[in-house]
Chains A and B, each alone.
Chain A
Amino acid sequence: MLGFLQRPVVVTADINLNVVALTAVGLLSRLWRLSYPRAVVFDEVYYGQYISFYMKRIFFLDGSGPPLGHMLLALGGYLGGFDGNFLWNRIGAEYSSNVPVWSLRLLPALAGALSVPMAYQIVWELRFSHCAAMGAALLVLIENALITQARLMLLESVLIFFNLLAVLSYLKLCNSQKHGPFSLSWWFWLTLTGVACSCAVGIKYMGVFTYLLVLGVAAVHAWHLIGDRTLSNVCVLCHLLARAVALLVIPVIMYLLFFYVHLVLLCRSGPHDQIMSSAFQASLEGGLARITQGQPLEVAYGSQVTLRNVFGKPVPCWLHSHQNTYPMMHDVAAPLSPHSQEVSCYIDYNISMPAQNLWRLDIVNRESSTEVWKTILSEVRFVHVNTSAILKLSGAHLPDWGFRQLEVVGEKLSPGYHESMVWNVEEHRYGRSQEQKERELELHSPTQMDLSRNLSFMARFSELQWRMLTVRSDDSEHKYSSTPLDWVTLDTNIAYWLHPTTSAQIHLLGNIVIWVSASLATVVYALLLCWYLLRRRRSICDLPEDSWLRWVLAGALCAGGWAVNYLPFFLMEKTLFLYHYLPALTFQILLLPVVLQHISDHLCRSQLQRSLFSALVVAWYSCACHVFNTLRPLTYGDKSLSPGELRALRWKESWDILIRKHQ
């Protein structure tokens, strides 16, 4: 126990200057003139409004991703002392002086800068040479699209950072597995893997792909562990449990934690309230809570209530009637949904028809059959006694005679439970006295205890998560949207910003040499892998076992990372943009030096060939540097180019570079 007293305390610093240098140039490239342009650039207009909401602690709903990313950006604003007062309405709008642009953009830029040394570390941990590792980092360094994306208040660079961190820490874990399982560093890297994965998922749902990749690789390794007969059963069980906790339990807890912080921060009602259920709204400060606070819990005969439809689509709505009648005679079929019954308010219109105005109340979420109808909490259905039709929101808009309001029908076919048939009481007033005046007085004075503060976190989380996943944005077209096929060959770009007077502009435009060679490297990798696999199957081993394993692991993580971050987009129906490809591209770039080193080590037969190959690689890299330098004005937007120069930069017909007609 006290052994450390007997020996001197020695600290051995082991500094890899490569990493230090890479970090420095990374920071330089990403942080240089960070607060330029002092104007809203592209999607900053979108993320900015949420930052303002955080600053003002107003609840909002954003379907594009979980809250961690927004919160990190908001953290930048908080540290910079942002008060949230800025109208985020238009790309190109000048920031007012109260917006701390530098600190808002700092976090993504730091993440982008740190990706450079991490690329180095990953390739090194994959057991490739320092040279290859250096190459990977230098490629990430001069990738224009990554720089553009990192220098602005956007989330992709943070996502890439956590993706890389997850892979890196998993590799560290694997490498420490051999000498010291269950050591301190082993636990550290294991936990960090889980944390990084959950952060990646917490920033964008897309992070799930990398998480699944890491899980998959971990599962294969765990399977090998199970097969390792030198380990005892208990030892294997411990390994599996540790992994399960770190890679499954921790991410779930972290994910919940993000939402917890999010909900704690956003406690005031705001513009998106209406999408949420009455109970959720009542749990926010202001808004509905101001009305419902102190209203009686249990609905009694004689209560005055508003009934809100639980489904809330196409828009949130309440059961409503007004003095106008349906334009036709009282018909049985509903006006727009011929399969359902019409619902109307009925007093004796002198039409000889028996009144059919009895409805049976059915509390859907009751726990016992004796439950009382409660305000806000109870979800109820109204079943028409005569026809057993159920009161339902059909979703259709009535024509002009119905003031474009939504149609309510009696659903006869009643195929099971659907939220559009379920209603809940929102406002509730109840007065006991019979006298009109006293009654009104009673109705307007709060009577009973506060009921809706006790909505549990899990209930709020699940509702919020569900709404986030199902909320639909309708802007399906965008000038710069693209398809996944455009990305591999960089057939598209996005104009992010244009200087109001000069032709200085920022584009999301990649370093085309790197893009093309990374794609080529993937193809080469796939072909070589197939070739080796087939040969090995016929018992011809071209590679020594250890370099074969290295080659496979590098492919699984880098090519696999590219595939899982790219291919799913073919199945997605949402509007896609070039920046969706950046996480995949990063993995692809990591594969590039791996393939190059492999070719040099195993396919170049003689020293001469090897030297020639190295010379080629150097020439190719200088070419990439040249492209970086040429495209730099479009990446940093710091230099106004003449129309001629801009036209010269339009290397592809499909690139949209903005050229002012009247200078």
Chain B
Amino acid sequence: MLCATSRFLAATALRAQPRGRGPALRCRRRELHFPGHPEPPLCDFLTGQLGRPSVPAGRRAILRRGRMPPAVGGGLAGSELRARRGRCGSQAARAVSPDVAVEAAARSHKQPAPGSRHFEAAGRWALLALVTLLSFATRFHRLDEPQHICWDETHFGKMGSYYINRTFFFDVHPPLGKMLIGLAGYLSGYDGTFSFQKPGDKYEHHNYMGMRGFCASLGSLLVPFAYLTVLELSKSLPAALLTAALLTFDTGCLTLSQYILLDPILMFFIMAAMLSMVKYNSCADRPFSAPWWFWLSLTGINLAGALGVKFVGLFIIVQVGWNTISDLWHLFGDLSLSLVTVGKHLTARILCLIVLPLALYTATYAVHFMVLNKSGPGDGFFSSAFQARLSGNNLHNASIPEYLAYGSVITVKNLRMAIGYLHSHRHLYPEGIGARQQQVTTYLHKDYNNLWIIKKHNTNSDPLDPSFPVEFVRHGDIIRLEHKETSRNLHSHYHEAPLTRKHYQVTGYGINGTGDSNDFWRIEVVNRKFGNRIKVLRSRIRFIHLVTGCVLGSSGKVLPKWGWEQLEVTCTPYLKETLNSIWNVEDHINPKLPNISLDVLQPSFPEILLESHMVMIRGNNGLKPKDNEFTSKPWHWPINYQGLRFSGINDTDFRVYLLGNPVVWWLNLLSIALYLLSGSIIAVAMQRGARLPPEVEGLSQVLLRGGGQLLLGWMLHYFPFFLMGRILYFHHYFPAMLFSSMLTGVLWDTLLRLCAWSLASSSLARGIHTVGIMSLLLGAAYSFYLFHPLAYGMVGPLAQDPRSPMAGLRWLESWDF
């Protein structure tokens, strides 16, 4: 299902744009030097490039049609500056000077050199390097602590080990993330021998740093990615710096990046996809150029990565899809483009954003199944046919007769996972529970009591008698199933089942195979025509009780002690197609038939792919919260209501607590509200036809378009959780938090600029932007200084104790550190 949905979403996804040749040069130059920004010196450069009367007019037309790819936006800002400078140079100089000041503040080691473009570019590279370095430094600091398993490391570390040991396992997430963890472990010399039993177990001599280091480096890259994305969207260095600072100094992102988890990998792909999408939007004025293709296909690759780590990668696919659709829609409306060109655009996007990601996604599964070729803990979740692939499984290399015949001894397995084999034993249903006949249950383990003999309903002769010819069982036949060990027939009647009301009881009845007409079942193969033979492993069959018309199924409910805590088998009168009532034949013994190797029956790759998705989706749906347990609710997350204990409880333990830096998070929350407010004011003003001054218009475009994309990202990564029935955790919010932080960066920079502009006449304006951004930066840094023990580990008394270093920092009672 999910797979299909993703295909649909990706299919609806596409984007790009062409435009005059003039800006194309600009684009390439910017690609070569550095992601562009309209900082004063560059503006000069742009102004020089754009000093043709025709260009601004064209750009306005674009704006009015409702699209402003960032590259054009950059050009716009440049032209605005030019216009403004034309009118009143001094004001323009004032308006842009805060940037310079901030830059100067941010890199005190380097003098701003207004004249030299190379110097400028080098400065930007240096700044990017600084941001990256700081991010890596914070993430790798005390990475080895604690030297024991923290929280979900017990799962994902274990799964990494499974890849190294090549044993098959089952997990509700797609395989890419765990494969990468396994690869990192393998390359760093971890041998896969650590058992990852439970949180708190010491790693001792095992080399776990490779896996943690891998996750930490991907986690560290989030900061430069966010920095570049914001730079591209807002063309403002302070905004980008603010975003980078918020993320670097967020204890939550930091903690989540330091352990062997899927989240840093997932967020890496999400942010990389976002960055490449924004980049290729910037190249829209030069379609089909090398950088355009590069960013477009990189977007596709990252989408495959995001979906390959967790299914929530779907949200970024929706975002890219939406972006692409609106882009194509605008291209389609551009009458200067021929339909052939539009068709080319469409094809390019189908190739890069649908075909390529699908191929890669499928490839990860191919690798997954290729690597995991040994039987392991995940076998039982999959169908019998699937298990035949795994070496060490008893179905592997087995040979059994292919088609079911009368007299065959078989085991019958339910198709729903974790239900098991149809089973009976020499115990009766207790007094008062239906008829007092022999129990029929399902049982997860292999056992002689799982064996049944297929007989014809009307004769009791032994079909294995050599004088009889072999007669195959066919779809639609009336049969009797005799329990081999006790010689009783599978039987049902109008008595209520032991646990499920309205269903009928299923029992073992009769003596030596002689029972009554309630022992007759019609055997049907799902989706097959009458008269077809029945294949072991592959055929999905149903047993329909002839007298009552009900269907044999297992309710999945555990019977009490009298039923040995095996699962209930019932006959359901509701003829709904559910997996609970579909079975397949697994073992098959019939001396009269030739054995064939099971390899013939092995499922093909598409079938494996489909099956594993079904199993994963079912597993995900199975993760339901219990009633009386405290569970994290989506509304808790943005307000940082409660964290997650990664390690330790008591005051003697080494404690790590996943909690967002409250200053950063509450600033983010405030920013979303402010954004909605300011955004709607601007939108209404524009709709009313208010004439905005060019400076304000440029800024409001950044706010509406750039900020809008980020807001969309936040919403897509947050709101769907409200609809999810499965159990949720705090860390599910972090992808949304990245978008929210980027929005904060864009919003505050823009708001401060607007503020500075409105006070332009006073001498105060000059400093407002600088002071504002600086105080936000410092605030984030200081709060990080306060809260860093959450991430780097706390020992000693808990926070309610005044002697604790965290005393006074427990701002909400719900935080327990």
Contact B725 A573 (CB under 8 A): yes
Q: Knowing A226-B687, A227-B687 touch, does A416 contact B628 (C-beta < 8 A)?
A: no
- On chain B, the residues within 8 Å of A537 by CB distance are 329, 332-333
CB distance from A574 to the nearest CB of B (A): 12
Q: Which residue of A lies closest to B815 (CB)?
A: A416
Tell me how far the C-beta of B563 lies from the nearest C-beta in chain A, rounded to whole angstroms.
Answer: 15
User: Taking the complex as formed, is A223 at the interface, i.e. its CB lies under 8 A from any CB of chain B?
Assistant: yes
Query: Which B residues, 541 to 597, have Cβ-Cβ distances below 8 Å to chain A?
Result: 572-574, 576
Please, how many angstroms separate the alpha-carbon atoms of A418 and B725 in the complex? 19
Most chain A CB atoms below 10 A, which of B572, B629, B814? B629
**Contact among A229, A394, A395, A415 for B642, CB-based, below 8 A:** A415
Select which of B576, B628, B649 is within 8 A of A394 by beta carbon. B628
Q: Which of A313, A415, A477, A571 contacts B816 (CB 8 A)?
A: A415
Check if B447 is an interface residue, CB within 8 A of chain A: no
Contact B628 A311 (CB under 8 A): yes
Taking a contact as CB atoms under 8 Å apart, the answer to whether A227 and B688 are in contact is yes
B333-A313 in contact (CB<8A):
no
1/0 contact string of B640-662 vs chain A (CB within 8 Å): 01100000010000000000000
Q: B332 and A538: CB pair below 8 A?
A: yes
Q: Are A313 and B628 in contact, with the CB atoms below 8 A?
A: yes
Docked complex Cα distance between A447 and B576 (Å): 61
Cα distance, A56 to B298, chains bound together (Å): 69
Q: Enumerate chain A residues within 8 angstroms of B687, measured Cβ to Cβ.
A: 223, 226-227
CA distance A392 to B573 in the complex (A): 41
Asked whether any CB of chain A lies closer than 8 Å to the CB of B684, the reply is yes
Contact between chains at A420 and B628 (CB < 8 Å):
yes
B335, B628, B629, B689, most chain A CB atoms within 10 A: B628
Question: Is B627's beta carbon under 8 Å from chain A?
Answer: yes
Is A402 an interface residue when CB atoms closer than 8 A count as contact?
Answer: no
Tell me whether A248 is interfacial, beta carbon within 8 Å. Answer: no
Task: Kindly report which residue of chain B lies nearest to residue A407, judged by CB atoms.
Answer: B628
Asked if A489 is at the interface of the complex by the 8 Å CB criterion, the answer is no
Contact of A539 with B628 in the complex, beta carbons under 8 Å: no
Nearest CB of chain A from residue B244's CB, rounded to whole Å:
32
Is A538's CB under 8 angstroms from B333's CB? Answer: yes
In the complex where A415-B642, A537-B329, A537-B332 touch, is A477 in contact with B630 (Cβ < 8 A)?
Answer: no
The residue among B641, B684, B687, B689 with the most chain A CB atoms within 10 A of its own CB is B687
A233, CB-defined interface residue at 8 Å: yes
Say whether A414 faces chain B, with CB atoms less than 8 Å apart: yes
Query: Which secondary structure characterizes the binding site on chain B?
Result: loop
Partner of A314, one of B335, B502, B627, B689: B627
Would you give the 0/1 interface string for B178-222, flagging 1 where the beta carbon is closer than 8 Å to chain A?
000000000000000000000000000000000000000000000
Most buried by A among B332, B641, B688: B688
> Do residues A416 and B502 form an inter-chain contact, with CB atoms below 8 A?
no
- The reply to whether B332 and A534 form a contact with Cβ atoms under 8 Å apart is yes
Chain A residues, CB < 8 A from B628: 311, 313, 392-395, 418, 420
A212 → chain B closest CB, angstroms: 15
Identity of the chain A residue whose Cβ is nearest the Cβ of B626 in the assembled complex: A395
Q: Which residues of B contact A478 (CB under 8 A)?
A: 574
Query: A320 near B: Cβ within 8 Å?
Result: no
A479 within 8 A of B: yes
Nearest-neighbor residue (CB-CB) of A539 within chain B: B335
Contact of A226 among B329, B688, B816 (CB under 8 A): B688
Interfacial chain A residues near B332, Cβ < 8 Å: 534, 537-538
| A403 partner residues in chain B, CB cutoff 8 A | none
Residue B511 interfacial (CB < 8 Å): no
Chain B residue nearest to A472 (CB atoms) is: B627
Closest residue to A313 on the B side, CB-wise?
B627
Is A229 a contact of B723 with CB atoms below 8 Å? no
Query: Shortest CB–CB separation between residue B15 and chain A, in angstroms?
Result: 15
List A208-250 residues whose CB lies under 8 Å from chain B.
223, 226-227, 229, 233, 236
Nearest CB in chain A: distance from B583 CB, A = 20
Q: How far is the CA of A414 from the CA of B629 in the complex (A)?
A: 10
* Chain A residues within 8 Å of B329, by CB: 537
In residues 402-426 of chain A, which contact B (Cβ within 8 Å)?
Answer: 413-418, 420
Q: Do residues A233 and B688 form an inter-chain contact, with CB atoms below 8 A? A: yes
B 305-362 contacts with A by CB, 8 A: 329, 332-333, 335, 339
Whole-angstrom distance between the Cβ of A241 and the nearest chain B Cβ: 14
| Bound CA span A95–B203, Å | 74
Taking a contact as CB atoms closer than 8 A, the residue among B574, B641, B816 that contacts A479 in the complex is: B574
Chain A interface residue count, CB cutoff 8 Å, equals 30
Contact: B684 with A226, CB < 8 Å?
Answer: yes
CA distance A571 to B688 in the complex (A): 39
Measured between beta carbons, the chain B residues less than 8 angstroms from A573 are 725
* Chain A min CB distance to B623 (Å): 14
Query: Which residues on B sit within 8 Å (CB–CB) of A413?
Result: 649
* B814 interface neighbour in A233, A392, A417, A420, Cβ under 8 Å: A417
The docked-state distance in angstroms from the alpha carbon of A272 to that of B478 is 49
- Nearest chain A CB to B630's CB is how many angstroms away? 4
Given contacts A395-B626, A414-B816, contact A477 B335 (CB under 8 A): no
| Bound: A539/B335 CA distance, A | 8
Known: A477-B502, A477-B574. A416 touches B630 (CB 8 A): yes
Contact of B627 among A223, A226, A395, A534 (CB under 8 A): A395
Cβ of A538 and Cβ of B627 under 8 Å apart? no
In the complex, the answer to whether A418 meets B630 with C-beta atoms within 8 Å is: yes
B72-111 vs A: 1/0 string, CB under 8 Å? 0000000000000000000000000000000000000000
C-alpha gap A313/B626 in the complex (Å): 11
What is the CB-to-nearest-CB distance from B640 to chain A, in angstroms, rounded to a whole number?
A: 13
Question: CB-CB < 8 A to A314: which residues of B?
Answer: 627
Contact A229 B627 (CB under 8 A): no
Closest to B800 in A: A388
Instruction: State the CA gap A534–B641 with chains docked (Å).
Output: 48
Task: Note all chain A residues with C-beta closer than 8 A to B723.
Answer: 571
* Chain A residues whose CB sits within 8 angstroms of the CB of B339 once the complex forms: 538
CA A233 – CA B685 in complex, angstroms?
Answer: 11
How far in angstroms is the closest Cβ of chain A from B550? 11
Interface string of A249-278 (1 = CB under 8 A from B): 000000000000000000000000000000
Give A358-395 as 1s and 0s: 1 = Cβ < 8 Å from B's Cβ atoms.
00000000000000000000000000000000001111
Interface 0/1 of B610-645, CB less than 8 Å to A: 000000000000000011111000000000011000
- The 0/1 profile, CB within 8 Å of A marked 1, for residues 714-752 of chain B is 000000000101000000000000000000000000000
A243 CB → nearest B CB, Å? 15
Min Cβ gap B548→A in Å is 13
Q: Which residue of B lies closest to A478 (CB)?
A: B574
Least Cβ–Cβ distance between A395 and chain B, in angstroms: 3
- Smallest CB–CB gap between B327 and chain A, Å? 13
A158→B772 CA distance, assembly (Å): 58
Hey, which chain B residues are within 8 Å of A539, CB to CB? 335
Which B6-42 residues have a C-beta within 8 angstroms of A? none
A14 to chain B, nearest CB (A): 39
- Are B630's CB and A538's CB within 8 A? no
Q: Which residue of B lies closest to A415 (CB)?
A: B630
Output the least CB separation between B353 and chain A (Å). Answer: 20
Which A residues are in CB contact (< 8 Å) with B576?
A: 477, 481
Chain B residues near A313: list those with CB within 8 A.
627-628
Q: How far is the CB of B196 from chain A (nearest CB, A)?
A: 20
B814/A229 in contact, CB under 8 A: no
Enumerate chain B residues within 8 angstroms of A414, measured Cβ to Cβ.
816
Contact of B688 among A229, A311, A392, A394 (CB under 8 A): A229
* Chain B residues near A534 (CB-CB < 8 A): 332
23 residue pairs of the A-B complex, CB under 8 angstroms, read: A226-B684, A226-B688, A227-B687, A227-B688, A229-B688, A392-B628, A395-B626, A395-B627, A416-B642, A416-B814, A417-B814, A418-B628, A418-B629, A418-B630, A477-B502, A481-B574, A481-B576, A537-B329, A538-B332, A538-B333, A538-B339, A539-B335, A573-B725
Nearest 10 CB-CB pairs, A to B? A395-B628, A418-B630, A537-B333, A415-B630, A420-B628, A227-B687, A416-B814, A226-B687, A313-B627, A229-B689
Known: A393-B628, A477-B576. 5 other contacts (CB 8 A): A236-B688, A392-B628, A416-B816, A479-B573, A538-B339
